[in-house]
Amino acid sequence: MKVALYARYSSDNQRDASIADQLRMCRLHAEKEGWQIVEEYSDHAISGSSLLRPGIQALIADATRGRFDLILSEAMDRLSRDQEDIAGIYKRMSYADVKIVTLSEGEITSLHVGLKGTMNALFLKDLADKTRRGQRGRVEAGKSGGGNAYGYDVVKQFAPNGEPIRGDRAINAHEADVVRRIFRDYAAGKSAKAIAVALNKEGIPAPTGGAWGFSTINGNPKRGNGILNNEMYIGRLVWNRQRFIKDPDTGKRQARPNPESDWVIQDAPDLRILDDALWNAVKERQKGNAIAQDTDGLKDPALVNTRRRPKYLFSGLTKCACCGGGYSAISATHIGCSTARNKGTCDNRVNIRRDELESRVLNALRSRMLDPKIFAEFCDAYTKEINRLRMESSAHINRAKAEIEKIDKEEQRLMDLYLKEAISIEAVKQRGDQLKARKAELTDFLATATEPPPLLHLSMALEYRKRVQELYETLQSDNEDNRIAAAGVIRSLIEDIVLTPVDGKIEIDVRGDLAGILTIAAQTKNPAGGRGDAQVKMVAGAGFEPAAFRL
pLDDT tens, position by position, for the chain (551 residues)?
999 999 988 764 455 568 888 898 999 999 999 999 999 998 887 776 677 788 888 899 899 889 999 999 998 888 887 777 888 888 889 988 999 999 988 898 887 777 765 666 666 666 666 666 666 666 666 666 666 789 888 888 787 877 777 768 889 999 999 999 999 999 888 888 889 989 999 999 998 888 898 888 988 877 778 899 888 898 888 877 777 776 665 556 677 777 878 777 888 888 899 999 999 999 888 887 766 555 444 444 433 343 445 667 788 888 999 998 889 888 888 999 988 888 888 889 999 998 888 888 877 766 666 566 666 666 666 667 666 766 776 777 788 888 888 888 888 888 888 777 777 888 878 888 888 888 888 887 777 766 555 555 545 556 666 666 676 677 666 666 666 667 777 776 677 888 899 988 888 887 765 555 555 554 444 433 333 333 333 333 333 333 454 55
Find out whether 320 and 339 touch, Cβ atoms under 8 Å: yes
Q: How far is CA 379 from CA 178, 384, 460, 490, 533, in A?
A: 59, 9, 10, 19, 17
Q: How far is CA 137 from CA 166, 169, 264, 473, in A?
A: 11, 15, 10, 69
Amino acid at 416: D
End-to-end CA, the chain: 64
Cα separation, 327 vs 339, whole angstroms: 8
Cα separation, 187 vs 198, whole angstroms: 16
Q: Give the 3-state secondary structure of residue 508.
A: strand
pLDDT of 269: 86
pLDDT tens per residue, range 380-416: 666 676 667 667 767 777 888 888 888 888 888 888 8
Cα separation, 521 vs 512, whole angstroms: 17
pLDDT of 385: 66
Find out whether 517 and 369 touch, Cβ atoms under 8 Å: yes
Residues 461-476 as b or e (16 or more Cβ within 10 Å = b): bebbbebbeebbebbe
Please give, one letter per residue, the 3-state secondary structure of 288-336.
HHHHHHHHCCCCCHHHCCCCCCCCCCCCCCEEECCCCCEEEECCCCEEE
Cα separation, 183 vs 109, whole angstroms: 61
Q: Which residues pair with 326 in a beta bridge?
A: 319
> DSSP class of residue 494?
E
411-414, long-range: CB within 8 Å, 24+ apart, which pairs? 411/435
> Which residues, other chains included, contact 224 with Cβ-Cβ below 8 Å and sequence gap of 6+?
230, 231, 238, 241
> Which residues, other chains included, contact 27 with Cβ-Cβ below 8 Å and sequence gap of 6+?
5, 37
Question: How do 242-246 and 253-257 pair as beta strands?
Answer: antiparallel
> Which residues, other chains included, contact 372 with Cβ-Cβ below 8 Å and sequence gap of 6+?
none
Look at residues 30, 28, 3, 23 and name the one whose alpha carbon lies nearest to residue 78: 23
Cα separation, 51 vs 515, whole angstroms: 38
Look at residues 19, 2, 34, 5 and name the one whose alpha carbon lies nearest to residue 103: 5
Find out whether 256 and 242 touch, Cβ atoms under 8 Å: yes
Q: Give the 3-state secondary structure of residue 220.
A: strand
Look at residues 213, 249, 494, 172 and name the one whose alpha carbon lies nearest to residue 346: 213
CA 299, 300, 306, 309 dihedral sign is: negative
Look at residues 484, 466, 462 and name the one whose alpha carbon lies nearest to residue 475: 484
Find out whether 39 and 73 touch, Cβ atoms under 8 Å: no
